[in-house]
Amino acid sequence: MNNLLARLKSLDLPEREAAPKISGHLVRVVGITLEARGLQVAVGERCSIETAQGPMYAEVVGFAGDIIYLMPTEQLQGVMPGARVTPCADLNQIPFGEQLLGRVIDGLGTPLDGLGPLGTLQAVKWTAQRINPMVRTPIRQPLDVGVRAINGLLTIGQGQRMGLFAGSGVGKSVLLGMMTRGTTADIVVVGLIGERGREVKEFIDDILGPEGRARAVVVAAPADASPLMRLKGCETTLQIAEYFRDQGRNVLLLMDSLTRYAMAQREIALAVGEPPATKGYPPSVFSKLPALVERAGNGSAQQGSITAIFTVLVEGDDLQDPIADSARAILDGHIVLSRQLADAGHYPAIDVEKSISRVMPAVVSPEQLVMARTIRQCLATYNQNQELISIGAYQKGSDPRIDQAIMIKPQIDEYTQQGMQEVVPYQQSLAGLRQLSLSLLQDAQQKMAALQQTGGQMPAAAPGQAPAAARPAVKMSFKKKN
Ligand SMILES: Nc1ncnc2c1ncn2[C@@H]1O[C@H](COP(=O)(O)OP(=O)(O)O)[C@@H](O)[C@H]1O
Ligand SMILES: [Mg+2]
């Protein structure tokens, strides 16, 4: 008897019999929203719907009274009035683990690369624990991303969350690919959300290449995927990054794009009847964005880190775009890509002046900080006076700061440009920055020497002009170009 009891105990039976699944039926289909009655399900549960072509899967996204709103995770086809809706187990669970490296999957963990199943017999249900903000390790170390302009002037810290703000076609994907290949992070998780299908393939084959793919996991939910799949794509991307972070790895997460995530959430929220608020975006979008972004960052001392770069689409310098606005507030810095630079063939088209890494002072040496600041100042001075300089209205010698900016500008341009296949490690980026500072120093020394030779007099002005010191300073009230 005792033996039997012991054996029963060791069986580890479920505490309570699971409630029987009650099926319901479809009553209405509007757009991509399905409405069912008679079901007892919770929001987020998965259901199967009987169709002529076999079962179709959908997820509960809301309810009103006894009406359950569902959204399909696949193409909506073949649904009929009164079709049976049955709650079912979440079959597509991602087998988290090393076997994900080098693979391309969709938001539900289905491989898209034709390389066969993901290799585990048992799917692991795994959800990351929310990290108490007090136990998160502070951001103290730089992360090498292999891009000179970023390493040197906009250093990203391990565990930082950056925004990459740009319009279409200015080099976001190429820059993300360069970082995937050039970073020293242990693992790169890439989320391609809402891109055109062709772009997904191009990114994986051409931009990432076999070398970039080897330690990367790509989650793709192209534009033709249902909004729910796009949302799930984002969440799966973060979940995979969280998994590797909890294994103690340093992860670089690249999400292209946060705007499409917000758009997918908008589609779903509007479809289930949430009222739109700012520019058609319902309030839930603005609470989901920070919730998603907060999942990246450093873990506790035993965990690794997730350094994240979220791309944000900005069309035509629309600073009023609510998503760009909201993203800027919740991220620890932003890299702005400029169409003007891209049009001029300056790649990566990073607008250093408009970009900022808010954690840079905490992760770089005081020397690098001073050098980077000086270069930024030179760039700002040049850009503020660009119109004067380009029409030849600026008189050399009237302002030493402008002279210095004009002298160093070509070298800065050379420093900030980088070929698609080129990888520039952190130390090399720093050496380049030192070189720039040295040029500035030499220039200043030469000027000092010239001044000493003339006995402390300013160099003579061009004939017919008053000496520089006596001339009124050029008024610098030019508006910055865009
Ligand atoms: N570092 C680079 N060097 C040379 N050309 C580049 C570089 N980055 C981007 N480009 C050019 O810009 C084009 C658009 O880049 P892409 O990354 O696809 O833009 P986006 O993702 O922003 O739409 C590329 O096809 C390429 O010709
Ligand atoms: Mg792109």
Burial of 439 (0-12, 13-18, 19+ CB in 10 A): middle
Question: Using only C-alpha atoms, what is the Rg of the chain?
Answer: 28
pLDDT of residue 458: 55
In sequence order, which residues have a C-beta less than 8 Å from that of residue 480 and are 6 or more positions away? 383, 384
pLDDT of residue 456: 61
Do the Cβ atoms of 305 and 299 come closer than 8 Å?
Answer: yes
Q: Which ligand 1 atom sits closest to the C-alpha of 199? A: 18
Q: Which ligand 1 atom sits closest to the C-alpha of 177? A: 17
Pocket test for ligand 1, best of 145, 164, 172, 174 (most atoms within 8 A of CB): 174
Q: Which ligand is nearest to the CA of 192?
A: 2
Q: Which ligand 1 atom sits closest to the C-alpha of 166? A: 22
As residues whose CB is below 5 A from the ion ligand 2, the structure lists 172-173
Query: How many angstroms does the Cα of residue 169 sit away from the middle of ligand 1?
Result: 6
Query: How many angstroms does the Cα of residue 189 sit away from the middle of ligand 1?
Result: 20
Ligand 1 residue neighbourhood (C-beta within 6 Å): 166, 168-174, 347-348, 418-420
Q: Which ligand is nearest to the CA of 223?
A: 2
pLDDT of residue 94: 78
In sequence order, which residues have a C-beta less than 8 Å from that of residue 46 and are 6 or more positions away? 57, 58, 59, 60, 87, 88, 89, 90, 91
Place of tokens 């990459």: 164
pLDDT of residue 478: 40
Query: How many angstroms does the Cα of residue 289 sit away from the middle of ligand 2?
Result: 21
Query: How many angstroms does the Cα of residue 217 sit away from the middle of ligand 2?
Result: 17
C-alpha distances in angstroms, 6 versus 3, 11, 118?
Answer: 5, 9, 38
Do the Cβ atoms of 341 and 332 come closer than 8 Å?
Answer: no
Q: pLDDT tens per residue, the chain (482 residues)? A: 556 555 655 555 544 445 556 889 999 998 888 999 988 888 888 899 998 888 888 999 889 899 999 998 888 888 899 999 999 876 557 788 888 899 999 988 888 888 878 866 445 556 667 788 888 889 999 999 999 999 999 999 999 999 999 988 899 999 999 999 999 999 999 999 988 888 888 888 888 888 888 889 999 998 888 899 999 999 999 999 999 999 999 999 999 989 999 999 999 898 888 899 888 899 999 999 999 999 999 988 889 999 999 999 987 666 678 899 999 999 999 999 999 999 999 999 999 999 999 999 999 999 999 999 999 999 999 999 988 888 888 888 788 889 999 999 999 999 999 999 999 999 999 999 999 999 988 888 888 888 888 766 655 444 444 444 434 444 444 444 44
Query: How many angstroms does the Cα of residue 256 sit away from the middle of ligand 2?
Result: 8
C-alpha distances in angstroms, 434 versus 352, 371, 425?
Answer: 17, 7, 15
Q: Which ligand is nearest to the CA of 171?
A: 1
Query: 452-481: buried (b, 16+ CB within 10 Å) or exposed (e) per residue?
Result: eeeeeeeeebeeeeeebeeeeeeeeeeeee
pLDDT of residue 318: 66
Query: How many angstroms does the Cα of residue 206 sit away from the middle of ligand 2?
Result: 12
Q: Which ligand is nearest to the CA of 146?
A: 1
pLDDT of residue 356: 95
User: How far, in Å, CA of 298 to CA of 161, rounded?
Assistant: 10
Q: Taking the mean position of all CA atoms in its chain, how far away is CA 123?
A: 28
Query: How many angstroms does the Cα of residue 341 sit away from the middle of ligand 1?
Result: 12
